[in-house]
Chain A
Amino acid sequence: MIRLNLVLLLAVVASALYLVHTQYESRLLYTALDRAAAQARQLETEHQRLQVEKRAQATPLRVEQLARDRLKMRAATPAISQYVTDGAATGAANGGAQ
């Protein structure tokens, strides 16, 4: 009887210690998860910020200015475009607009 009780007592103590350990482990993991989530959020906002910045660098206003001033380009008009038909090259070689 006493032996059985002893075994059971040991089992209880072991289980209790294991519980404490698990609790500790779970808290560690939780903080790690929390930190990762915060980082994810931060990266997400950073991503959005950079996207806006990228767009701000590519607004039609800026593109046009750069094309005109730095690259000496001009707007295309049908007069200086050559329209080609898709597939069969009917009339594509004639030159000029169709």
Chain B
Amino acid sequence: MTSTPLLRVTDVHKSFGALDVLRGVSFTVAGGERVAIIGPSGSGKSTCLRAINYLEPPTKGRIELKGSVIGEREVAPGTWRRMSDTELAPQRAQIGMVFQLFYLWPHLTARENVALQPEKVGGLARKEALELADTMLAKVHMSHKAHEYPERLSGGQQQRVAIARALAQKPALLLFDEPTSALDPELVGEVLSVIHELADEGRSMVLVTHEIRFAREVADRVFFMDQGLIVEEGPANDVLTNPQSERLQAFLRQMHRQDRG
């Protein structure tokens, strides 16, 4: 119990001008743990995820990965300074991120998309990087499209390549930012099943999602966020079957209606 958690988020605030998107979010994720964050749109869940790898630097608060502070450096005892993107790079390399809109690089083939990070950041030789890419593409069942450019792939295929790209950086933690929200309904399944397989491997992950049923299946714990705060958290089954707060109850009812509709 005393060992450092993989990820510790402490009192994170984020405001855009007068708008407070995060109003003091704290939680920890243990090694091998799978956490799902659910909540209505505008609740701050994506911002919270993007704060973890400092794509959205918090206005206040602290992120620690394996005990070391992300994005801030102690320049003098008690005085912390924001790191530049250049200084942040090695830290971000430890955190894999899958975006809602995939953001595959259109000028590279699927294989090159996956191999770029291991080669340029990880320092592998090009040949080894490409071999690693092939392994990762096999993991997401995309070997047959390795030499295609992203434009030739369906949304679901693109997202699977994006997952392979995140895996290739050998991350300690995987972040998923609504990975299926931009997909046509018939393509959601293939992406979810890949994420499911990764969860079964015991990878640590934080997943922001609208798929309540999927969250229940893969997550150890579920956080419900609303208006910039974690309103309710606990083991997935407890939180989703037996919601305590009125807001979560209302949210789940609404999601349920949409599911049937």
Indicate, yes or no, whether A interacts with B: no
- Chain B residues at the A interface, C-beta cutoff of 8 Å: none
- Chain A residues at the B interface, C-beta cutoff of 8 Å: none
